[in-house]
């Protein structure tokens, strides 16, 4: 009994002695909960209102840093619309079909001009001695040109009115491609304007284009008002804003890509309807600057160069590139243009971000440009005098 009573007494004393210790232990979980709550609140605030510093970005912001986003599972792929699915099937079939290389592959030179071609004499010198390796096509939207070179005689195609900035410019490009594709020997297609000149001799241009498997289509992402600011939600679901691209219209294109462009109706229609001057919200969109870059970014982004082989000078910061006059034409100018080996894009937002990338030809850095514009007719004589010198640099 004493033992039992002693046990009970011991237990009772232990309970009395241990009571304050239990009350002290109850406080720890409370402080832990409070601490976790404060930390959680801090992290939530940091996520909703992320810090602007690049270092802190990688800790707190998913939107500002790609590193953390890689931890998340990818978003489920959007189901393609029926038209989109059909377009992708046709395009993939064209691109995956091995090209049939003819015995005498040619380059199609496609001139888009309102009328006269002031540099015919220069192009005549460029073409001389290379008959059978090229074809010429002329789309004269206003006046039938009078030709000075035998290479241009009777090379006009059926043409229509072209208005700068409107879909009629793209229509003219597609019309030139359609006529040039009729000749099966044509394997590469070059779009040129009436103010374009050759920077290299024919053999250099021919080898540059024929011995690579990409098309030289300009394409980059511009988040500014003259890039993504021209996008319309009416292009959804096939064209999302994140895929909207910009680039110069002057391209060179391999035959498979030319066929893909001619087969397209879905994306062409999107740009015809929803990319034009004087749109809602007092916005302007120019389809010749956005249709092909966006089309190839969506359907074959690795098949294009993302830069154009036609040089223009935008250094004056105007709506149009610099126009070269007679006094500008020197050997130094032509040497400077032909030695450029990096491509430059500048965004139109407040940051004016300068994007520089090397011009790669089959993986090796090479000079970027084969042609140049915008040259006024008065420069012809100086260009003819310097032609042999600057094309052999």
CATH of the domain at 222: 3.90.550
- State the total domains in the chain: 1
Residue 282 lies in a domain: yes
Cα 180 from Cα 154, distance rounded (Å): 14
- For residue 69, count other CB atoms closer than 10 A to its CB: 12
Residue 351 lies in a domain: no
Residue 132 lies in a domain: yes
Q: Residue 137, preceding bond cis, omega within 30 degrees?
A: no
Q: What is the model's pLDDT at position 29?
A: 63
What single string gives the DSSP state of each residue in 79-122? PPPHHHHHHHHHHHHHHHSPP---SS-EEEEEEEESS--TTHHH
| DSSP code of residue 165 | T
In sequence order, the 6+-apart residues with CB closer than 8 A to the CB of 75 are: none
Q: What is the model's pLDDT at position 76?
A: 54
HSE (side-chain half, CA atoms, 13 Å) at 377: 6
Strand, helix or coil at 293? helix
Contact between residue 267 and residue 294 where contact means Cβ atoms under 8 Å apart: yes
In sequence order, the 6+-apart residues with CB closer than 8 A to the CB of 92 are: none
Contact between residue 329 and residue 383 where contact means Cβ atoms under 8 Å apart: yes
Q: What is the model's pLDDT at position 46?
A: 52
Residue 263 lies in a domain: yes
Nearest to 390 by CA among 371, 374, 373, 377: 371
Cα 372 from Cα 195, distance rounded (Å): 8
Q: Which residue has the tokens 């935008």?
A: 314
Indicate if the alpha-carbon torsion angle 63, 295, 211, 139 is positive or negative. negative
Digitized pLDDT (tens) for each residue of the chain, 393 residues in all? 444 443 333 333 333 334 444 444 445 567 666 666 666 666 555 544 554 443 344 333 333 444 434 434 455 577 888 888 999 999 999 999 988 889 999 999 999 999 999 999 999 999 999 999 999 999 999 888 889 999 999 999 998 899 988 999 999 999 999 999 999 999 999 999 999 999 999 999 999 999 999 999 999 999 999 999 999 999 999 999 999 999 999 999 999 999 999 999 999 999 999 999 988 878 899 999 999 999 999 999 999 999 999 999 988 877 788 999 999 999 999 999 999 999 999 999 999 999 999 999 999 999 999 999 999 999 999 999 999 999 987
Q: Which residue has the tokens 């850095």?
A: 365
Its domain, for residue 267, covers: 82-308
Question: Which phi and psi angles does 156 have, rounded to 5°?
Answer: -75, 140
Q: What is the model's pLDDT at position 279?
A: 87
Residue 393 lies in a domain: no
Residue 278 lies in a domain: yes
Residue 139 lies in a domain: yes
Cα 388 from Cα 382, distance rounded (Å): 12
- Write out the E strands in the chain: 106-113, 134-140, 186-193, 197-198, 215-218, 252-254, 304-306, 310-311, 342-346, 354-358, 360-361, 364-365, 371-372
Residue 321 lies in a domain: no
pTM of the model as a whole: 0.80
């Amino acid at each position: 009994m004493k033992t039992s009573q002693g046990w009970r007494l011991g237990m009772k004393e232990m309970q009395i002695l241990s009571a304050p210790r239990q009350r002290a232990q109850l406080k720890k979980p409370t402080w832990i909960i409070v601490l976790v709550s404060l930390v959680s609140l801090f992290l939530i605030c940091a996520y909703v209102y992320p810090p602007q510093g690049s270092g802190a970005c990688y800790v707190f912001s998913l939107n500002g840093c790609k590193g953390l986003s890689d931890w998340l599972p990818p978003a489920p792929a959007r189901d393609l619309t029926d038209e989109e699915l059909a377009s992708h099937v046709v395009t993939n079939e064209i691109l995956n079909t091995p090209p049939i290389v003819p015995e005498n592959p040619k380059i199609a030179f496609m001139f888009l001009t309102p009328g006269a071609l002031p540099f015919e004499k220069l192009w005549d010198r460029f073409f001389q001695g290379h008959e059978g390796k090229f074809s010429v096509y002329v789309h004269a939207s206003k006046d039938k040109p009078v030709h000075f070179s035998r290479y241009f005689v009777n090379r006009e195609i059926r043409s229509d009115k072209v208005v700068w900035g409107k879909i009629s410019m793209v229509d003219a490009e597609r019309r030139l491609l359609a006529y040039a594709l009729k000749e099966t020997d044509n394997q590469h297609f070059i779009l040129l304007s009436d103010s374009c000149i050759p920077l290299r001799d024919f053999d250099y241009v021919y080898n540059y284009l024929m011995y690579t498997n990409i098309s030289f289509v300009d394409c980059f992402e511009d988040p500014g008002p003259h890039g993504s600011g021209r996008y319309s939600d009416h292009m959804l679901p096939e064209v999302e804003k994140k895929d909207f691209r910009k680039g110069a219209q002057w391209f060179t294109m391999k035959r498979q890509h030319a066929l893909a462009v001619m087969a397209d109706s879905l994306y062409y229609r999107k740009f015809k309807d929803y990319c034009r001057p004087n749109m809602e919200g007092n916005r302007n969109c120019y389809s010749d600057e956005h249709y092909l870059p966006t089309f190839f970014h969506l359907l074959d982004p690795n098949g294009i160069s993302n830069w154009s082989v036609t040089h223009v000078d935008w250094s004056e910061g105007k709506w149009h590139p610099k126009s070269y006059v007679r006094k500008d034409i020197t050997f130094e100018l032509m040497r400077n243009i032909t030695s450029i080996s990096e491509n430059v894009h500048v965004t139109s937002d407040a940051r004016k971000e300068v994007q520089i990338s090397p011009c790669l030809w089959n993986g090796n850095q090479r000079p970027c440009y084969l042609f140049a514009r915008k040259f006024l007719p008065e420069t012809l004589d100086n260009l003819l005098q310097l032609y042999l010198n600057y094309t052999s640099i």
